[in-house]
């Protein structure tokens, strides 16, 4: 067995001790960092104080702050404004690493909707052109979270895209789509003034008793907004038909008070004489009065 001189052994011991001391110093957590970390992760703490702590954390050690912020973004129990701000900070700290992390969140359907929507927003802000295909993928995926598809539809609707009108029209007419997708697509087409298609669609839906009741109600609302004369006789038919849902009949009658004309006045008076529902009778009476007054004003 080789025995080293005691002087060498002591030297090695001192070197090792010095290395350990240095390592421990490097690994020792900054008390101020821990203080700010505690302040940030305390969910019941005042929002502004948490924001201040987040900013301090990033200044003290952005590398250590990064996973903390990523965890906050993914925490569905945390305050949403804090989570959104955390996502923004991620991009500021390390753009490349943040983009990679946000893409993983967006692609993981097990993540909560807010985290995925926030990831989508940040990715679009970073590079809208890179996200166009991803947005379309989400729109075209019936297995996607409906809320994510709604969010994607809203973003897609704001873009200048030659496929936009055709895509929105397909959503409107597809009975396999969710009510919210169909309705929002119809509202968007109204907002971009595709009124011939909108008018044709609302006539078709109002005439179809097999269509979703809420979709038909929204069609009544759109008809009033765009002042669609073609919907007036259809709404009069709905008002007369006692097999229609009472809420739809009532909405149609109330809308006729604003857009109805003399051409449906006689029909409404006949309906009023045969109506036994007190609420609908009252609405009919008010609508008939409104139309008569409007026609009188028009002729004077």
Query: Of residues 20 and 275, which shows the higher confidence score?
Result: 275
Residue 81 included in any domain: yes
Residue 93 included in any domain: yes
Quick check: 250 pLDDT over 70?
Answer: yes
Domain count, the chain: 1
Helix 47-60 and helix 31-41: axis angle, to 10°?
150
Span 7-26, mean pLDDT? 42
What is the model's pLDDT at position 255?
94
Exposure of 69 in the CB half-sphere (CA atoms within 13 A): 30
Residue 98 included in any domain: yes
Residue 71 included in any domain: yes
How big is the chain by its Cα radius of gyration, in Å? 32
Question: 59 lies in which domain range?
Answer: 38-108+116-126
Quick check: 66 pLDDT over 60?
Answer: yes
CA distance 193 to 103: 35
Residue 219 included in any domain: no
Q: What's the pLDDT band for 200 if we cut at 50, 70, 90?
A: very high
pLDDT, one tens digit per residue, over 209-237 is: 999 999 999 999 999 999 999 999 999 99
Phi-psi region of 275 (alpha: psi -120 to 50; beta: other; left: phi over 0): beta
Lowest-confidence range among 53-67, 229-243, 245-259, 261-275?
261-275
CA distance 49 to 236: 59
The answer to whether 168 and 183 are in contact (CB under 8 A) is: no
Quick check: 18 pLDDT over 60?
Answer: no
Task: Give the distance from CA 22 to its chain's centroid.
Answer: 51
What is the model's pLDDT at position 30?
79
Span 160-186, mean pLDDT? 94
Q: What's the pLDDT band for 83 if we cut at 50, 70, 90?
A: very high
The answer to whether 264 and 236 are in contact (CB under 8 A) is: yes
Q: What is the DSSP letter of 29?
A: P
Quick check: 70 pLDDT over 70?
Answer: yes
What is the model's pLDDT at position 29?
62
Q: What's the pLDDT band for 14 if we cut at 50, 70, 90?
A: very low
Q: What is the DSSP letter of 43?
A: T
Quick check: 15 pLDDT over 60?
Answer: no
Span 123-129, mean pLDDT? 92
What is the model's pLDDT at position 147?
94
Which position has the token pair 């028009």? 298
pLDDT, one tens digit per residue, over 264-293 is: 888 899 998 888 888 999 999 999 999 888
Q: Exposed, middle or buried by CB within 10 Å (0-12, 13-18, 19+), for 244?
A: middle
Helices (H), the chain: 6-27, 31-41, 47-60, 62-74, 80-93, 95-107, 113-126, 128-139, 146-158, 164-173, 179-191, 195-207, 213-225, 231-240, 246-259, 265-274, 278-299
What is the model's pLDDT at position 3?
54
Q: What is the DSSP letter of 30?
A: P
Residue 190 included in any domain: no
Quick check: 177 pLDDT over 70?
Answer: yes
Query: Of residues 15 and 269, which shows the higher confidence score?
Result: 269
Q: Give the Å distances, CA to CA, from 280 to 220, 239, 242, 251, 284.
A: 17, 9, 11, 10, 6
Both tokens of 198, joined, read: 């909108």
């Amino acid at each position: 067995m080789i025995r080293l001189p005691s002087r060498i052994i002591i030297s090695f011991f001192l070197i090792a001790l010095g290395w350990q001391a240095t390592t421990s110093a490097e690994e020792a957590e900054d008390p101020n960092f821990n203080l700010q970390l505690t302040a940030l992760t305390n969910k019941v703490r005042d929002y502004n104080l948490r924001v201040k702590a987040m900013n301090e954390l990033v200044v003290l050690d952005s590398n250590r702050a990064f996973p903390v912020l990523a965890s906050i973004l993914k925490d569905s129990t945390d305050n949403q404004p804090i989570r959104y701000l955390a996502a923004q900070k991620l991009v500021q700290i390390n753009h490349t690493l943040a983009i990679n992390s946000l893409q993983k969140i967006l692609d993981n359907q097990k993540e909560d909707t807010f985290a995925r929507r926030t990831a989508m927003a940040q990715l679009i802000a970073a590079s809208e052109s890179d996200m166009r295909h991803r947005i379309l993928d989400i729109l075209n995926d019936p297995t996607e979270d409906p809320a994510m598809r709604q969010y994607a539809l809203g973003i897609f609707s704001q873009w200048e895209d030659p496929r936009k009108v055709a895509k929105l029209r397909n959503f409107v007419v597809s009975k396999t789509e969710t009510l919210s997708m169909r309705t929002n697509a119809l509202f968007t087409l109204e907002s971009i003034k595709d009124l011939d298609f909108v008018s044709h669609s609302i006539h078709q839906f109002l005439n179809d008793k097999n269509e979703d009741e809420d979709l038909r109600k929204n069609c009544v609302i759109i008809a009033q907004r765009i002042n669609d004369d073609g919907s007036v006789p259809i709404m009069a038919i709905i008002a007369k038909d006692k097999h229609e849902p009472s809420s739809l009949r009532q909405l149609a009658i109330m809308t006729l008070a604003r857009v109805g004309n003399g051409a449906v006045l006689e029909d409404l008076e006949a309906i009023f004489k045969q109506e036994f529902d007190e609420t609908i009778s009252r609405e009919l009476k008010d609508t008939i009065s409104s139309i008569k007054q409007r026609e009188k004003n028009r002729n004077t």
